[in-house]
Structure 1
């Protein structure tokens, strides 16, 4: 094979040899660019984008943790009734039909509502957390066929 190449190469004029060497050099540069530089550049750009997303997510998590800590530091609001009775009253005031309220302890209760509009429910949760003296510990929501949610939320009284 190399003998055939040497025979072919020696049959070229000096000008053709220079042009073939320039062509091979440009081909090597192009392949190096396409196979090494661009993939590494794309990987670096992806890594930077992932880093930026991680920084934003960390900032959001820190802000949420600070908001939760602020809720915890706000001090408890003395509920006028046991938590399960009070939650039933608050749900009734908004117009929710509560399937059941299960008291877990003196400071915790689980509320189950079979059909509720999402916007109304989440506004009610925000109102309870900001001014009601309770915190949502757990929430499970399932979409119903009629654009409503079936929810199960666990509340606890805000600690001192």
Structure 2
């Protein structure tokens, strides 16, 4: 250490200042590269893993809910046509036609609906005791679809 001190004392004032600035910048660089960046990268990685875990949890919970709902058999209250009309109105769909073919089956059509909302509604129908025998969708060309459905009540 005394050799370094003697070497440092032998420098001019300008050289001493430059050496001190160089050592300060070296310390800052080491702190930045050795502590700040790894910690920031670790936090970013932890945030990504957390977001992935939240998404996986949500999909798992929805799958569990779907499995639990599949086991429940909900009887219809009233006629099939009335139940279908009520569920369509609550979902915001306008039924263009609603014909009871027999006591067991109902034919209905919807002129315009968003595909995602319509498929969600059909899934909700099946969860509430109405089974879809056939469904025909046609593209309206404006991002919506029209649908013809034949549904029947689930036999408990």
Normalising to structure 2: TM-score of the pair? 0.50
Q: Offset at 1:16?
A: 4.3
1:70-109 CA distance string (max 9 Å, x none): 122214869xxxxxxx79x9379844348xxxxxxxxxxx
Conserved 8 A contact 1:128-1:134: yes
1:49-81 CA distance string (max 9 Å, x none): 111101211211221111111122214869xxx
Gaps of 5+ in 2: 1-7, 89-93, 98-107
Q: Whole-Å Cα distance in 2 between the matches of residues 55 and 17 of structure 1? A: 55
Conserved 8 A contact 2:74-2:128: no
CA RMSD of aligned residues (A): 5.1
Q: Is 1:149 paired with 2:147?
A: no
* Further displaced range: 45-54 or 16-25: 16-25
Q: Offset at 1:141?
A: 10
Q: Is 1:115 paired with 2:112?
A: yes
Gaps of 5+ in 1: 1-8, 79-85, 99-110
Aligned to 1:66: 64
Match runs of 1:21-32 below 5 Å: 21-32=19-30
Conserved 8 A contact 1:96-1:116: no
Aligned to 1:42: 40
* Further displaced range: 37-46 or 122-131: 122-131
Q: Whole-Å Cα distance in 1 between the matches of residues 138 and 24 of structure 2? A: 61
Aligned to 1:56: 54
Figure out how many residues of one structure are paired with residues of the other and give that number. 126
Normalising to structure 1: TM-score of the pair? 0.49
Q: Whole-Å Cα distance in 1 between the matches of residues 33 and 111 of structure 2? A: 57
Q: Whole-Å Cα distance in 1 between the matches of residues 139 and 10 of structure 2? A: 79
* Further displaced range: 60-69 or 20-29: 20-29
